[in-house]
Amino acid sequence: MSASQTEPLAAAPAPAKKAISPWRRLLSAFFESKLAVVGLVGLVLIILAALFAPLLAPQNPYDLTQIDIMDSKLPPGAESYTGMIYVLGTDGQGRDMLSGILYGLRISLIVGVLSGFFALLIGTSMGLSAAYFGGRVETLIMRLVDLQLSFPAILVALILLAILGRGVDKVILALIVVQWAYYARASRGAALVERRKEYIESARSLALSTPRIIFRHLLPNCLPPVIVIGTVQVANAIALEATLSFLGIGLPVTEPSLGLLISNGFNYLLSGRYWISFFPGLALLLTIIAINLVGDQLRDILNPRLQR
């Protein structure tokens, strides 16, 4: 015990909340921050918008019969001669920006979530194996993790894509390679703490199979840090994919994610046609902020050290 005088305060609210299940408690803790709720609502809206893009978008931006080159580079709010209003303007090919953004959001989210999911799967398995088996396996995995993490994600992705070439699958692969180490490190750290606890010992003495101990006993207890990393990483993956696509080494032009839309607008920026890259960027920014707000709050409520 330290000489801290806040100690009576920490104990105070505890007894009142004894009966509530941990999930309920976490949930109510999450909703304590207005900012986090705003983030969550925003995120849900963004996901819905991306899911239902074909229904929501005024046009299918990749159906050439629906776009008109005569309508190119129109500012926000302009009207085409057919009477259609381009709320966010049009791009260099005369595509409605709003439609382009909705479709682009879809691609960005899919790439981000897919790569995040596989990275989580691979990374967590590696981390848990490292913690459970120890010894050489652990040394090998952790050396790999250290090596990976000592180089910035963008550099690793850049090199991989330089080697692999362009394509959705290649971008996802690069993003997985870039991300898995974070999950591995976090899950190993949590598992090492858990491993020393008695219930793992007793599970072992019951001669439960190794995978069973890892996945039924270790994994659930390592989830909190993994979840926190997961949210942050999906945001990072989306941003990284956009960056790579912007640089021209990410997704091919046939899969126009937000990054590619922004990149297209770059050419028009200097002539003052800001909207072509501004609005896709705004969509990207809002998505990332929403995820980060949720992630921030998750980290606060799942972190035992910061519980107030």
Q: Which stretch binds other proteins (CB under 8 A): 44-52, 68-76, 158-166, 181-189?
A: 158-166
| Cα angle for residues 48, 54, 57 (degrees, 5° grid) | 90
Contact mark string toward other proteins, 200..239, x via CB under 8 A: -----------------------------------x---x
**Is residue 78 helix, strand or coil?**
strand
Q: Which of 6, 21, 65, 209 binds other proteins (CB under 8 A)?
A: 6
**64 φ, ψ to 5°?**
-60, -25
Residue closer to other proteins by CB (options 147, 193) is 147
Closest contact distance (angstroms) between CB of 155 and other proteins is 4
Of residues 234 through 273, those in contact with other proteins by CB under 8 A are 235, 239, 242-243, 246-249, 259, 262, 265-266, 269-270, 272
List Cβ neighbours of 177 (8 Å cut-off, separation of 6 or more).
148, 156, 157, 160
The C-alpha atoms of residue 114 and residue 305 are separated, in whole angstroms, by 31
Q: Which of 79, 151, 193, 211 binds other proteins (CB under 8 A)?
A: 151
> Binding residues for other proteins, how many (CB under 8 A)?
50
Q: Which amino acid is at 262?
A: I
Provide, for the chain, the percentages of residues in helix, strand and coil under a 3-state DSSP scheme, each rounded to the nearest 5.
Answer: 70, 0, 25
Strand (E) positions, the chain? 78-79, 85-86
Q: Which of 61, 116, 250, 281 binds other proteins (CB under 8 A)?
A: 281
Distance of CA 253 to the CA centre of its chain: 23
Q: Which of 18, 19, 65, 163 binds other proteins (CB under 8 A)?
A: 163
Residue closer to other proteins by CB (options 160, 213) is 160
Helix ranges (DSSP H) in 4-87: 7-11, 22-30, 34-51, 53-56
Distance of CA 280 to the CA centre of its chain: 18
**Is residue 180 helix, strand or coil?**
helix
Closest contact distance (angstroms) between CB of 163 and other proteins is 5
Q: Does 193 bind other proteins (CB under 8 A)?
A: no
Residue closer to other proteins by CB (options 208, 247) is 247
The C-alpha atoms of residue 294 and residue 298 are separated, in whole angstroms, by 6
**Interacting residue ranges for other proteins, rule: CB under 8 A:** 1-9, 11-13, 15, 147, 150-152, 154-155, 158-159, 161-163, 235, 239, 242-243, 246-249, 259, 262, 265-266, 269-270, 272, 274, 277-278, 281, 284-285, 288-289, 292-293, 296
